[in-house]
Chains A and B, each alone.
Chain A
Amino acid sequence: MKCVYSKRKGSMTLEKKEIELRVNGVPYQIRIAPHRTLLEVLREELFLTGAKEGCGMGDCGACTVIVDGKPILSCITLAVEVAGKEVTTIEGLSREGVLHPLQEAFMKHGAIQCGFCTPGMILTSKAFLDECDHPSEPEIRKAMAGNLCRCTGYVKIVKAIQRVAQNKEE
């Protein structure tokens, strides 16, 4: 049995490519090796560390960012795949110090504990609420099922999302 405790596959001498990434409305010209994930590029090249690596395999949702309105797992998405598309990270959700209603609700309803899953949770729920106007609790739970949290038991996360959905209706 070969035991490899590896996050990465070892160095590859692949030719770097120049791509344009639009992140939070800002265009970036970057040269990257084509095997680099969007998560690596966001964190290591653009220093946007709000998206987290919890598993590196697309299982936990901590790396979620929004690409053209859809939540995606940036740890299993190559950066070159999203060239030219609009990427929103947690850093781009609040504008000029004004928090998004979901950010306010997560704070107010105690939906945050360690905070590691929080950026992914907020972005997944934002993309969901942008698409779905009157979600039921089971619909919210289904939408959030790909984002793991080990601290909260999800009770207050679901509640925060419900409150934002209700306020949107009013």
Chain B
Amino acid sequence: MIPFSVIGKPVPRVEGRLKVTGEAKFCDDVVLPGMLYGRILRSPHPHARILNINLEKVKKLGGVRAVITGKDVPNNKYGVYKLFPETLDESVLCLEKARYIGDGVAAVAAVDEDLAQEALGLIDVEYEILPAVFDPEEAMNPGAPLIHDKPNNIAWEVHLEHGDVEKGFQESDFVREDEFVAPAQNHAALEPHSAIAAFDRSGKLTLYSCAQSPYVVLQDLAFVLGLKPRDIRVVSPYIGGGFGGKYQILPLDFCTALLSRISGRPVKITYSRQEVFQCTRQRHPMRIRLKTGYNKDGTLVAKQCRTIGDNGAYNSSGPTIIGRAGAQLSMVYKVKHLEFRGLLVYTNSPVGGAFRGFGNMQARFADDSQMDMIAEDLHMDPVQIRLKNARQAGETSPHGWKVTSCGLTECIQKAKEMADWDAKKQKKVKNRGIGIACNAYVSGVNAGHDASSAFVKIEIDGTVTLITGATDIGQGSDTTLCQIVAEVLGVPLENVRIMGHDTDVGPFDCGTVASRVTFMAGKAAEGAALDAKKQLIARVSELLEARPEDLEIRGGRFYVKGMPHPRMSFAEAVRASLYTKGGGLILGRGAYNPNTERLDLKTGAGNLSPSYSFGAQVVEVEVNPVTGRVKVLNVFAAHDCGVAINPSSLEGQIEGSIAQGLGYALTEDLLFEKGEIKNASFFGYKIPTTLDMPHIETILVETVDPEGPFGAKGVSEGTILPLPPAIANAVYDATGIRVKELPITPEKILGISPSTLLPL
């Protein structure tokens, strides 16, 4: 194999200089001439009918330039996908009733933020308070208040049967059944959501928004506002973290656009931190009942799972998320018979949505916790039982996921060795424990729009511009995409620039979701670079009168094979092409649309992704028996993410996943009271700080994926999955206490019921 010159190198971020100097502009940093400031009036009630909205007073307040209610929204129904129209259930601003605390009721635009805030106080809304329900199981009871007109408040149901699960249980030596609870989590991206909309006089709307997926936002905007897609331009400035929370279009995108259309001025809305917590999206709480049949030798035979997901007040991505919990259960460890039933239930709570892990996180906690309980039943080592059942390349999971490359076994072995597992298991230190868990994840998901495209333009100075529709929300994809293009074209990385983050410039891409960007947008960029290279070589071979196959590119210059001196530079070749009769611009085009199966929303099945990533994490914890506090000492994280295009970025994704997984496992506890988050701040909601982080060893297990660009696979989401169950398993190893409901708080370790604690 020829060694790569740019692929596999831990090169610094291409946008690094802008970020360390404070120059990088995030959405709230943008100010347009004449810009107004908008705010949204939100329901203080979890469930209430809107009887009347009186706008008389607010319209008289000087400096208020536009006020809107639900009546001003042309097609007031939206959701995640136009692709699954049957799931759309959310209004930009409520029409008849508000369904959770924070549901938008009206919006204003005024000449400054203080005035906009004051204006909200002048809108009189007459509510009829309705009975509300916050527990999904109560919500399914007969007589529970109906939030939408869906029987038993069941928003969506997913059911998959593979094999014969009853027969499987009969054939199993043992069967056990356990229940786990995986709670809500807030994305807590450091940048609060922000959007600016500006209509010009031709009727064209430009929306600056912290959108992970600008093309998804564009399509939803067109549908709801009744505009033609070509009359909308969505620009994503630098995005301050997303983790799924900036995937879906949100009311601020629509409201800024509507307020701008009415006022004729640009309008900005930036959410407060409290709004981000209460009124955007969160990880779906799930109650997971898992019944597993297994044999004496540790082989899993059958799994039956019933999961109840708390949808909150609206669907958002819920119908796609609930099925993914089932897919995760059938992927990591082999199982012959599987039945998964997932119920997604409406409550008057904040809305669930896409979040790093996308339903897999909750299922992973249940599955890998129970795996240790089974191992204990059989007096087996937790590592051995995992090795015995680990998914292998060439297999297909019950959900139809086809595994083309798989380093799971090697990940388990490497994490175990690095952690010195055997020695630590034998020689126990008091109050210390060790645990393991694994994961599998997609590299993109075919929900009907999983496509990427790219152009590669060779500039007249011989440098290269990659034009992409993909967005970098911090994960480093701009850099990896530039690395791919530089490698294909044989030019130094500093000669490649990236453009896009703008639907008027970047060609279609479904955006930053499902760990797909390096893979899909990478394939498109690779294709575009190959196309540009082909065009260049064709031109140069004419100019040099050499056969194309005799030409090669090194360091941005053309060589005739076997000759030591370059014959022509990129710049010369491009200029010669441009200025020669019959020549032209060198513009490569690339597109990627994988050969996958579209998600079946009723079963959650289908070979959704062209490739799957795997991993295993071993953690060591120390539990303080007096305070009940769990301290994670070490994490050994072994991940198969295919070939590492940028090892530094890959490590960064793993380390960041560990931080977010650590918070979910131990400290991130959203406190709900009648649908309101009582700790909606970074003071009350504890995300990990520098002092909370364990020592982390990352181990890259590089399989060469047959399909991925240069053998790469997705990385950013799968890596968050193993940590919570690995910690729960390590806590059990240390204390004998099995915590089945996250987060693992000191109260749970010490067995103190919350009711005996003093109120906050």
- Using a CB–CB distance below 8 Å, which chain A residues touch chain B? 1-3, 5-12, 43-44, 47-57, 59-60, 62, 89-91, 93-94, 99, 103-104, 106-110, 112-119, 122, 140-142, 144-158
Closest beta carbon of chain A to B36's beta carbon, Å: 14
Question: Contacts of B13 on A, CB cut-off 8 Å?
Answer: 107, 110, 112
B115 touches A11 (CB 8 A): yes
CA of A94 to CA of B13, assembled, Å? 18
Interface string of B75-113 (1 = CB under 8 A from A): 000000000000000000000000001100000000011
**Which residue of chain B is the closest to A43 with respect to CB atoms?**
B29
**Which residue of chain B is the closest to A155 with respect to CB atoms?**
B655
CA of A90 to CA of B682, assembled, Å? 23
Known: A113-B474, A149-B190. 12 other contacts (CB 8 A): A11-B112, A49-B22, A54-B192, A90-B20, A112-B13, A113-B476, A116-B474, A144-B689, A148-B682, A153-B658, A156-B651, A156-B652
Q: Quick check: is B597 within 8 A (CB to CB) of the other chain?
A: no
CA of A104 to CA of B16, assembled, Å? 9
Closest beta carbon of chain A to B64's beta carbon, Å: 11
CA of A47 to CA of B13, assembled, Å? 25
* Pick from A8, A12, A57, A156: contact of B655, CB under 8 Å: A156
List 30 A–B pairs whose Cβ atoms lie within 8 Å, in order of A's numbering. A3-B101, A5-B272, A5-B275, A6-B272, A9-B114, A10-B117, A10-B121, A47-B31, A51-B22, A52-B190, A52-B240, A53-B28, A54-B190, A56-B272, A59-B682, A107-B20, A113-B476, A114-B473, A116-B238, A119-B22, A141-B691, A141-B693, A150-B660, A151-B652, A152-B656, A153-B693, A154-B655, A154-B690, A155-B651, A157-B690
Size class of the B contact interface (CB-based, 8 Å)? 35 or more
**A-B pairs with beta carbons under 8 A, tally:** 215
A148 touches B190 (CB 8 A): yes
A117 touches B190 (CB 8 A): yes
Question: Contacts of A44 on B, CB cut-off 8 Å?
Answer: 31
Question: Contacts of A148 on B, CB cut-off 8 Å?
Answer: 190, 682, 687, 689
Question: Contacts of B475 on A, CB cut-off 8 Å?
Answer: 113
A110 touches B12 (CB 8 A): yes
Question: Contacts of A155 on B, CB cut-off 8 Å?
Answer: 651-652, 655, 693, 696
CA of A106 to CA of B405, assembled, Å? 34
A2 touches B655 (CB 8 A): no
A122 touches B20 (CB 8 A): yes
Q: Quick check: is B683 within 8 A (CB to CB) of the other chain?
A: yes
Q: A49-B25, A114-B473 are in contact. Are A54 and B652 (CB under 8 A)?
A: no
A116 touches B191 (CB 8 A): yes
Closest beta carbon of chain B to A33's beta carbon, Å: 9
Question: Contacts of A115 on B, CB cut-off 8 Å?
Answer: 15, 18-20, 24, 238, 240, 474
Q: Quick check: is B241 within 8 A (CB to CB) of the other chain?
A: yes
Count chain B CB atoms within 10 A of each CB in A47, A62, A112, A141 and give the residue with the most.
Answer: A112
A12 touches B114 (CB 8 A): yes
**Which residue of chain A is the closest to B10 with respect to CB atoms?**
A110
Question: Contacts of A47 on B, CB cut-off 8 Å?
Answer: 31
Question: Contacts of A145 on B, CB cut-off 8 Å?
Answer: 689-691
B117 touches A11 (CB 8 A): yes
CA of A157 to CA of B553, assembled, Å? 37
Question: Contacts of B655 on A, CB cut-off 8 Å?
Answer: 152-156
Q: Quick check: is B174 within 8 A (CB to CB) of the other chain?
A: no
A113 touches B22 (CB 8 A): no
Question: Contacts of B12 on A, CB cut-off 8 Å?
Answer: 107-108, 110
B102 touches A113 (CB 8 A): no
**Which residue of chain A is the closest to B275 with respect to CB atoms?**
A5
Q: A50-B22, A141-B690, A142-B691 are in contact. Are A1 and B676 (CB under 8 A)?
A: yes
Count chain B CB atoms within 10 A of each CB in A7, A48, A104, A151 and give the residue with the most.
Answer: A151
Q: Quick check: is B648 within 8 A (CB to CB) of the other chain?
A: yes
Q: A5-B279, A115-B240 are in contact. Are A150 and B190 (CB under 8 A)?
A: yes
A57 touches B691 (CB 8 A): no
**Which residue of chain B is the closest to A57 with respect to CB atoms?**
B681
* Pick from B118, B657, B688: contact of A10, CB under 8 Å: B118
A52 touches B474 (CB 8 A): no
CA of A130 to CA of B495, assembled, Å? 36
CA of A5 to CA of B18, assembled, Å? 32
Q: Quick check: is B156 within 8 A (CB to CB) of the other chain?
A: no
A113 touches B114 (CB 8 A): no
CA of A153 to CA of B43, assembled, Å? 36
A5 touches B42 (CB 8 A): yes
**Which residue of chain A is the closest to B654 with respect to CB atoms?**
A153
A116 touches B10 (CB 8 A): no
CA of A104 to CA of B18, assembled, Å? 12
CA of A119 to CA of B660, assembled, Å? 21
Closest beta carbon of chain A to B625's beta carbon, Å: 24
**Which residue of chain B is the closest to A40 with respect to CB atoms?**
B113
Interface string of B325-342 (1 = CB under 8 A from A): 000000000000000000
* Pick from A52, A59, A156: contact of B683, CB under 8 Å: A59
Q: A10-B121, A59-B683 are in contact. Are A94 and B21 (CB under 8 A)?
A: yes
Question: Contacts of A158 on B, CB cut-off 8 Å?
Answer: 690
Q: Quick check: is B149 within 8 A (CB to CB) of the other chain?
A: no
A11 touches B21 (CB 8 A): no
Closest beta carbon of chain A to B117's beta carbon, Å: 5
Question: Contacts of B15 on A, CB cut-off 8 Å?
Answer: 115
**Which residue of chain A is the closest to B278 with respect to CB atoms?**
A5
Closest beta carbon of chain B to A39's beta carbon, Å: 11
Question: Contacts of A118 on B, CB cut-off 8 Å?
Answer: 19-20
CA of A2 to CA of B681, assembled, Å? 17
A90 touches B656 (CB 8 A): no
Q: Quick check: is B378 within 8 A (CB to CB) of the other chain?
A: no
Interface string of B254-296 (1 = CB under 8 A from A): 0000000000000000101111001100000000000000000
Q: Quick check: is B549 within 8 A (CB to CB) of the other chain?
A: no
Q: A5-B272, A52-B26, A119-B22 are in contact. Are A152 and B681 (CB under 8 A)?
A: no
B191 touches A52 (CB 8 A): yes
CA of A48 to CA of B15, assembled, Å? 19
B residues 201-259 in Cβ contact with A at 8 Å: 238-241, 243
A103 touches B275 (CB 8 A): no
B191 touches A57 (CB 8 A): no
**Which residue of chain B is the closest to A157 with respect to CB atoms?**
B690
Count chain A CB atoms within 10 A of each CB in B19, B188, B682 and give the residue with the most.
Answer: B19
Question: Contacts of A152 on B, CB cut-off 8 Å?
Answer: 652, 655-656, 659
Q: Quick check: is B649 within 8 A (CB to CB) of the other chain?
A: yes
B189 touches A150 (CB 8 A): yes
Q: Quick check: is B545 within 8 A (CB to CB) of the other chain?
A: no
Q: Quick check: is B44 within 8 A (CB to CB) of the other chain?
A: yes
Closest beta carbon of chain B to A2's beta carbon, Å: 7
Q: Quick check: is B23 within 8 A (CB to CB) of the other chain?
A: yes
CA of A150 to CA of B410, assembled, Å? 29
Question: Contacts of A107 on B, CB cut-off 8 Å?
Answer: 12-13, 16-17, 20
Count chain B CB atoms within 10 A of each CB in A115, A144, A145 and give the residue with the most.
Answer: A115
CA of A49 to CA of B268, assembled, Å? 16
B114 touches A8 (CB 8 A): yes
* Pick from B240, B279, B649, B659: contact of A154, CB under 8 Å: B659
Question: Contacts of A119 on B, CB cut-off 8 Å?
Answer: 20, 22
CA of A93 to CA of B241, assembled, Å? 24
**Which residue of chain A is the closest to B115 with respect to CB atoms?**
A11
Closest beta carbon of chain B to A67's beta carbon, Å: 17
**Which residue of chain A is the closest to B242 with respect to CB atoms?**
A114
**Which residue of chain B is the closest to A49 with respect to CB atoms?**
B29
A3 touches B696 (CB 8 A): no
* Pick from B19, B473, B690: contact of A112, CB under 8 Å: B19
Question: Contacts of B112 on A, CB cut-off 8 Å?
Answer: 11
* Pick from A11, A59, A90: contact of B114, CB under 8 Å: A11
